[in-house]
Amino acid sequence: MVLKLYGNLNATCTKRVRTVLAELDVPYEFISIDLAKGEQKTPEYLALQPFGQVPYLDDDGFGLFESRAIARYLGLKYGGVGTLIPEPTDVQKTALFEQAASIEMSDFEPSAVGLAIENLFKPYAFSLVSQMDSQAHCVGDDRMYGKPTDTATVERLKATLEGKMAGYEAILSKTQFLAGNVRTWGLRSQAQNHVTDGRHQEITLADLFHLPCGSLLEQQGIDYLVSDRWPNVAR
């Protein structure tokens, strides 16, 4: 039975899972959840995802939510051990992978999402709020409802993210990817082209997790992931 992914095409967490599915070339059925209409809060959806959030994965009756958990599951089931996820018996590689995944969640996403809220989502909600009922879920987050961009918050978040980029630069000055350098067979990544002697450099889920928020930064004209200020990040 084909996988079913419940989500919203504009939601970064949904994009995270879809990135992994594309990386693994796994077919799936996409079931759109309209956040603006509050479909994520219906009794039917809450029976699947008790927090009323996207995404949700149904694998022939096995249900799973939280995008990073879904990504790990997909990597283990469809990607094979030793590609997107390290061999579990290799304790050091697994530890480096979990460290890299934690860095993305703790040091990158909070500021990147905060900037997207201020520069992309708030203006969108603000433009709609006069046309919609005040109780409508414009974009699915109370912080965004009908509020203009807070420029002071934008500058604070940019400064924070610049500091994080310095940390990334230090890590990537010593290793090709966040979780290491070891080469691995058979990985068909759209996110990299580092091929040598039929092998690919080791890119893991921890690297792919950055792509959805990275694309949001690009939409804002924030070039931190490609800036020559951090050449090892940019490469």
Domains and CATH numbers, the chain: 3-79 (3.40.30.10), 91-234 (1.20.1050.10)
- For residue 57, what are the contacts with CB-CB under 8 A and spacing of at least 6? 3, 4, 5, 6, 17, 63, 64, 65, 70, 73, 74
CA distance 53 to 79: 26
Of the given ranges (93-107, 133-147, 215-229), which has the lowest mean pLDDT? 133-147
CA distance 193 to 167: 24
Angle, in degrees to the nearest 10, between helices 91-103 and 151-172: 160
pLDDT tens digits, 98-108? 999 999 999 99
Mean pLDDT calculated for residue range 210-227: 91
pLDDT band at 201 (very low <50, low <70, confident <90, very high): low
- Give pLDDT, residue 182: 47
The beta strands (E) that lie in 52-177 are given as 56-59, 62-65
Residue 173 has pLDDT above 70, yes or no: yes
> Closest by alpha carbon to 105, among 33, 21, 188, 12?
12
Share of the chain above pLDDT 90, in %: 60
